[in-house]
Structure 1
Amino acid sequence: MPSSNDQKTLQSGQSEHKKNRYLNILKSVGIPEKDHPRYVSEVETFLRVLRPSRLQDLPTKDVEAYLEELCTRTDLSDEQVRLSIGALRLLLLQLTPTPAGREIEWAAWLERRHSAIPEQTEDIANLREREMVMGSPRIAKATLTFPVLKDLSEAIQERHYSIRTEQAYLDWCHRFLVFCDKRETEEIEEHDLERFIEHLEVECGLAPKTRSAAYNAIAFFFQNVLDKPIEKLSAKKPRASSKVPMVLSRNEVRALLKEMTGVPGLMARLLYGTGMQLMECVRLRLIDVDLEKKQITVRNRKGEKDREIPLPERLCDPLSAQVEGVARQHQEDRASGIGAVTLPVAIAKEWPDAAYELGWQYLFPSGRLSRDAFSGHVGRTHLHPATLQRTLRVAGESAGIDTRISAQALRHAFASHVLESGTDIRLLQALLGHNDVATTMRYTRIMNGQKNMPVSSPLDTI
């Protein structure tokens, strides 16, 4: 059984003998004496982070998670990372032999240093992402077979559509061209679109909403690439059934938000307090938040339409703290020679150095660094939307809400509750960013469904 001193960490100041044993091991394996303080410091940092009660009980997965984070740190040189891994190896294999030390493949971790920093794969639409879309193996192969898809991509970019819209349009049009099986695009006619939509319904069994998305993509292709205006098409667009969105009550929202803390909690309150969409929230930058005017600017939405929305009073202090935290983190990143962020297309062309400016950093940055696939710059993209969605589901279950909770549910709740307070439908349309007021009008159906029928039945009057 290990003594009580063996169970205390090196940094406690009560295990000097254990520190001396570690120094003797360093001498025995030939580590230069000038490097001994660095080895001891790495071990102390490791123990301070993981806080094990006994090294023997240290889970292998916890050590590997620490090594994974160590390998992705761009502020450390390869030599520093190798030193850190070597220091931990001596700790867990020689000073105190542990199961975790025997299970870890130390040599493999040394090799992973060069490939551990991930490339950015999810961000807002920008020039380099456009190149990544067209350069992906699947799309690249499709454009070799159908060069007209390059024309489609250019037409989409001219209209400043989002990167996700471009990906969806390219996928649907590629499927359509494969279905048509014609050598020349000039041979494609209106009836081919009709046959394809029918194929999606009958043979593929796709829902009306999915078929409508396919129709939109191919109609865009007809009108803007094949130069066959949409007015001449006889194919009817599939119409999805109009459903009244599920809306949380005020008590349910209160119970849900009570279960959420930290950054996800702040984001959830921002969604309910402003009615923003999920991606609009995660893509907010510091420059978009004006705490003095108490407003948020939602930029680069569909068609690059910006809109301003009021900032809830209760969120001013938490957002101010979040901004200060991002500023501190960005300062640390810049001190390490990193901290670049992907910029919108127009800004990247005109002011490329803005990538390092604080204002363009994301309000909710990722906790992990990522490398830009083209420039090679390392920085932080925004928090992944799945993080918030997952937290919302767990919080909904903890709050005892039967329905499945998502970010969109908070947007629906915002719209419904704002209408209940007497807000004009046109103002709500502007706040939500709807192009058509008919989209906003569906929330009036919710309100009508929650009220008593205004007309009494004649049966009750006789």
Structure 2
Amino acid sequence: MDTPQPPRLLDQVRHAIRLKHYSLKTEKSYLHYIRDYILFHNKRHPKEMGAEEIRTYLTHLAVQQNVAASTQNVALSALLFLYRHVLNIELPYIDGIERAKTPERVPVVFTRSEVKAILSYLDGIHHLVASLLYGSGLRLNEGLQLRVKDIDFEYQQLVVRDGKGEKDRVTMLPKALVAPLKQQLEKTKQLHQQDLTLGYGAVYLPYALERKYPNANRDWGWQYVLPSWRRSLDPRTKVVRRHHLYERSLQRAVKQAIRQAGMTKHGGCHTFRHSFATHLLEDGYDIRTVQELLGHKDVKTTMIYTHVLNRGERGVRSPLDG
């Protein structure tokens, strides 16, 4: 009887990532850099390599590939994950890496009139999502992954589940979006009923909830508020179901709206979140409140918006202005 072959290394990595409930985007990034690391070293097995080879690879990314600092950090995280959680090898501290330079930039922010101009060139579902990003300070994925049960119309708030750092938080639901959201929910409910009639209607559930509550994935409360217009094959489970709206669709629509508004700022979907924070500070809300609404772990992250304002403790007025 033939001895079964052990799983391939990348399959082991994929399994370990899913056990830890990392996102599909993180899974793709980690697999890419682990594969690239192996190819860079002429297909040597990672067990035969260590800190020195990692240092050489990361330096190559910074010097020859000219990657951004954030990209280099993702590559390092992927390799540390490989050694610690797949190969069970604890590496020594890796020093002497040629670091990609981290640019010091203040975020791009739309003025209130610019936000109105951009929104005027968006319609339908794109207008609703962009309004949520600006009106509630959501990241793009947080808006797209919003579930029916996480909207509280009575208290006018949204519950953001598994935000950055796997943290939940509560943020505001603008009064102006109550009616549009209720209309959207009516459309979503009709679509969900059609899916159920056709034998579909099950939505992705995080972690082990699908095993714990086998029928919950068809419940109305778990459905995405902003579902995709078509069903698709889940790349992990190979199950055909309806996912949330595709992020590229909104990104393209916002870029087009920015061009139509005649703006030269290099903005995008995330700029609405920057604008949300800046405009709250302009209105006099304290920085701790804004920090909680944004879900920042450290208030220093939120402080960058005071530099955009040129206000607060270090705000100055030009001598030309008297």
TM range (shorter): 0.7 to 0.9
Which residue pairs with 1:65 in the alignment? none
Q: Which moved more, 1:315-324 or 1:399-408?
A: 399-408
Give the 5 Å matches for 1:17-36. Answer: none
Q: Contact between 1:371 and 1:378, CA under 8 Å: does it hold in 2?
A: yes
**Structure 2 counterpart of 1:164, from 25, 31, 40:** 25
Alignment partner of 1:304: what SS? Answer: coil
Which residue pairs with 1:240 in the alignment? 102
Shift in Å, 1:271: 0.5
CA separation of 1:341/1:394 partners in 2, compared to 1, >3 Å: closer, same or farther?
same
Which residue pairs with 1:370 in the alignment? 232
Cα offsets for 1:118-167 (capped at 9, x unmatched): xxxxxxxxxxxxxxxxxxxxxxxxxx999444443344334332121121
Counterpart code for 1:453: V
Q: CA RMSD in A?
A: 3.1
Q: Distance in 2 between matches of 1:366 and 1:192?
A: 43
Which residue pairs with 1:360 in the alignment? 222
Query: Are 2:77 and 1:216 aligned?
Result: yes
Alignment partner of 1:166: what SS? Answer: helix
Which residue pairs with 2:210 in the alignment? 348
Q: Distance in 1 between matches of 2:315 and 2:24?
A: 45
Q: Name structure 1 gaps, 5 residues minimum.
A: 1-143
CA separation of 1:244/1:292 partners in 2, compared to 1, >3 Å: closer, same or farther?
same
Shift in Å, 1:313: 1.4
Which residue pairs with 1:330 in the alignment? 192
Q: Distance in 1 between matches of 2:275 and 2:139?
A: 12
Count of residues in correspondence between the two structures: 316
**Structure 2 counterpart of 1:453, from 293, 297, 316:** 316
Shift in Å, 1:234: 1.3
Give the % identical residues. Answer: 38
Q: Name structure 2 gaps, 5 residues minimum.
A: none
Query: Are 2:70 and 1:206 aligned?
Result: no
Which residue pairs with 1:282 in the alignment? 144
Q: Which has the larger radius of gyration?
A: 1
Q: Contact between 1:212 and 1:239, CA under 8 Å: does it hold in 2?
A: no
Q: Which moved more, 1:336-345 or 1:307-316?
A: 336-345
Alignment partner of 2:215: what SS? Answer: helix
Q: Contact between 1:244 and 1:445, CA under 8 Å: does it hold in 2?
A: yes
Shift in Å, 1:311: 0.8
Alignment partner of 2:224: what SS? Answer: coil
Q: Contact between 1:330 and 1:339, CA under 8 Å: does it hold in 2?
A: yes
Cα offsets for 1:85-135 (capped at 9, x unmatched): xxxxxxxxxxxxxxxxxxxxxxxxxxxxxxxxxxxxxxxxxxxxxxxxxxx
Shift in Å, 1:235: 3.9
Shift in Å, 1:190: 1.5
Shift in Å, 1:308: 1.4
CA separation of 1:446/1:366 partners in 2, compared to 1, >3 Å: closer, same or farther?
same
Shift in Å, 1:454: 4.8
Q: Contact between 1:180 and 1:188, CA under 8 Å: does it hold in 2?
A: no
Shift in Å, 1:286: 0.9
Q: Distance in 1 between matches of 2:158 and 2:302?
A: 21
Higher percent of residues as helix: 1
TM-score between the two structures when normalised by the length of structure 2: 0.85
**Structure 1 counterpart of 2:52, from 164, 175, 191:** 191
Q: Contact between 2:50 and 2:91, CA under 8 Å: does it hold in 1?
A: no
Q: Contact between 2:204 and 2:217, CA under 8 Å: does it hold in 1?
A: yes
Shift in Å, 1:314: 1.4
Q: Distance in 2 between matches of 1:165 and 1:374?
A: 13
Q: Which moved more, 1:429-438 or 1:249-258?
A: 429-438
Shift in Å, 1:181: 4.0
Q: Contact between 1:160 and 1:304, CA under 8 Å: does it hold in 2?
A: no
Which residue pairs with 1:48 in the alignment? none
Alignment partner of 1:284: what SS? Answer: coil
Cα offsets for 1:312-369 (capped at 9, x unmatched): 1111111111112211222233233332222223221212222221112111112223
Shift in Å, 1:273: 0.5
Q: Distance in 2 between matches of 1:169 and 1:455?
A: 48
